Structure 1
């Protein structure tokens, strides 16, 4: 069970961020939604390593935490779209920086090879 973010101490607000953003897929999902609205299938194709069940779970948590809006259209077949909220868009610069750092790390640092870090 997750800790409620308002219960985290003031001296460590990063714990609140990690409660909401932690996990393997959440930032990847948010990054895919940054350019605009996507349907469930489009998200699944953009992140082929995630299972549909995990994608559903992560999207529900992001929706509960106020970072994603889910819109269901009453059509046959049903159409469901996901878009970022204003709160999620406040992460745009941070996600860009993490993406840049992740590329640098992947290309420069090898686990157990601290000498490569410059």
Structure 2
């Protein structure tokens, strides 16, 4: 889901993805990209220029996942709000 979101808006080079995901190591990002390519969620295009550039984009199949990913992001926000309310309740009852 984390890699999916930046690719929803545009095609990105590997360097763009590393900047968009600063907490992800280059090695882990490369492994996850390989897995998403194998699952046909994203496609990889090697542009034969010097220096060599690689561009990643959502595949047609990957684009169909958009409603699911967006629903999961919304659900995550709801859970965070509920969790914060529960913490507020516990803090207020202990005060």
Gaps of at least 5 residues in structure 1 are: 1-26
Is the counterpart of residue 30 in structure 1 residue 17 in structure 2?
A: no
Are 1:63 and 2:37 matched, yes or no?
yes
Pairing partner for 2:70 from 86, 96, 110:
96
Query: What TM-score does the superposition give when structure 2 sets the normalisation length?
Result: 0.83
Counterpart CA distance in 1 for 2:47 and 2:37 is 17
**Which fold has the larger relative contact order, with Cα–Cα distance below 8 Å and residues 6 or more apart in sequence?**
2
Report the count of equivalent residues: 88
Q: Residue 28 of structure 1: SS of its match in structure 2?
A: coil
Choose 1 or 2 for highest CA Rg.
Answer: 2
- Secondary structure in structure 1 of the residue aligned to 2:54: strand
Stretches (4+) displaced over 6 A: none
Gaps of 5+ in 2: 91-95
